[in-house]
Amino acid sequence: MLLNRRPDAERFLSRPDPAIRAALIFGRDLGVVRDRAQGLASKIVANPDDPFDVAVLSERDMADDGGRLEGELAAQSLIGGRRLVRLRLSGDSVPIDRLAAEALERHSKGELNPDAFLLIEAGDLAKGSALRKAAEKQAGAAAIPCYEDEPGDVARLVRETLAKDNLNLNADALALFVARLPRERGVVRQEIERLVLFLGPGSGVQGAATDLEAFLGVEPDASLFDAAADAFGGRIAEAQAGLRRAAQEGEGGPAAVRAMGMHLARLRKVVTLVLAGAGAQEAAKASGVFWKQEREVLRQVRAWKLEDLDRLQPELLAADRACKTTGSPDRLIAERLALAVASRAKRLGL
């Protein structure tokens, strides 16, 4: 069945219908897909990371063994009780789409282990997708499309996430912060994490708009944007020269790290949209890439994968935190970060 209305989807995600044996969560914003899937997984089993109760499959697993998914769905839990089988899809392979559809259809009819739950995460599936059709058609399955967050959704996510660390923003600060955030859920969470570190986890602070000025700063000027683009493009000497030029113009290390973070976020959004089926140029435009930078960004997108960008994110967070430590050599920290990024880009073939 199709749960297209937000209230219906939220109701199911918070209290899954025991008659439903499979769920397909899909959409262009993979960050929203992952969030909803993780929330649902926690309702199905006590520990979604427990290897005894949970099996996690990828497209590679399906390609290597076409019967692997049905085999996992037929297996019993090693310690008894509910079993969760998760399938994560990132591409648009027609054979894998059909294999997943067949397994979902059989399982939703109760032909496999009735104590197992099938949870599939996918990108922006076309209406002609066999998997999407099967999930929408079967009474024992739920198809949940995910859409880009609205400002109200982002504001709620900011409030809820900050509250977990005993932090808050007043109305003006919240509006300012949300206005400066992108709409891709994964990037939003990374920016909230940076804000938590800035305000101080567990400090009980309620941030005001004036408090966010130092965190948000001004938009980096052209030198910092160029340096960030050069770093992610594998041009080490140019990136260092751009950072030094920006330093002469009065821009410090925190602004340089923020510029690299913004470039990473933009690359990540383009890559995510392309994986969801968008054309490369369409994805670049939707991500706010300036037309003069489009060719270079698309060159970088062909080399940087989501997993490469995700592995780099902790280094940016660490550099951002280090730059804001009293007495730290923030410009040197930013240069070292740019060098690390550029070196990794070169290893990726840029």
> Model's pTM, two decimal places?
0.54
State yes or no: pLDDT of 221 exceeds 60: no
Mean pLDDT of the chain: 86
Domain boundaries, the chain: 6-146, 151-216, 222-347
50 touches 77 (CB < 8 A): no
Contacts of 298 (CB under 8 A, 6+ apart): 270, 280, 281, 284
Cβ-based neighbours of 155, under 8 Å, separated by 6 or more: 174, 175, 178
What is the average per-residue pLDDT within 196-210? 89
pLDDT value at residue 60: 86
pLDDT for residue 226 is more than 60? yes
Query: With the C-alpha atoms ordered 295, 301, 303, 308, is the resulting torsion angle positive or negative?
Result: positive
pLDDT above 90 coverage of the chain, percent: 35
Provide Rg for the chain, Cα atoms.
22
E strand spans, 28-97? 54-58, 83-88
What's residue 220's pLDDT?
Answer: 42
CATH dotted code for 222-347: 1.20.272.10
- Distance of alpha carbon 125 from alpha carbon 93, whole angstroms: 11
Distance CA 235, CA 238 (A): 6
Mean pLDDT value of segment 245-269: 85
Confidence check: pLDDT of 26 > 70: yes
The pLDDT assigned to 218 comes to 46
Looking at domain 6-146, does it have CATH number 3.30.565.10? no
pLDDT, one tens digit per residue, over 128-162 is 899 999 999 999 999 999 877 777 888 888 999 99
